Amino acid sequence: MKKPTIELKSTEFTEIIELERTVTPDKEKRVDHVFVKRMKICKLHPEGFATEEYARFDIEWPEEVKEEIKENTNMEEEIKVNS
């Protein structure tokens, strides 16, 4: 089961400013490693209190669609043997 990735967003109390985002694909694990550096500013603080924050998470790649090979098992297509 896949876990949803919820990114931090600005609200009426805090402002989120993304400073840096690095995405590194990993073919072996079939995920993208994401590193985010962001600034979180408190709007309620009189001086606009700011903190830097780092986050790291993985985003899974979509599954590959595999085509199934179906064998025809119809009676009409079977080889008839003369006896």
Q: Where are the beta strands (DSSP E) in the chain?
A: 14-26, 31-42, 50-60
Calculate the average pLDDT of the chain.
82
Q: How confident is the model at residue 52 (pLDDT cuts 50, 70, 90)?
A: very high
77 lies in some domain: no
26 lies in some domain: yes
What's the structural domain count of the chain? 1
30 lies in some domain: yes
Give residues with Cβ within 8 angstroms of 74, minimum separation 6. none
75 lies in some domain: no
78 lies in some domain: no
Q: How confident is the model at residue 54 (pLDDT cuts 50, 70, 90)?
A: very high
- Residues of the domain holding 24: 14-62
What does the pLDDT average to over 66-82?
61
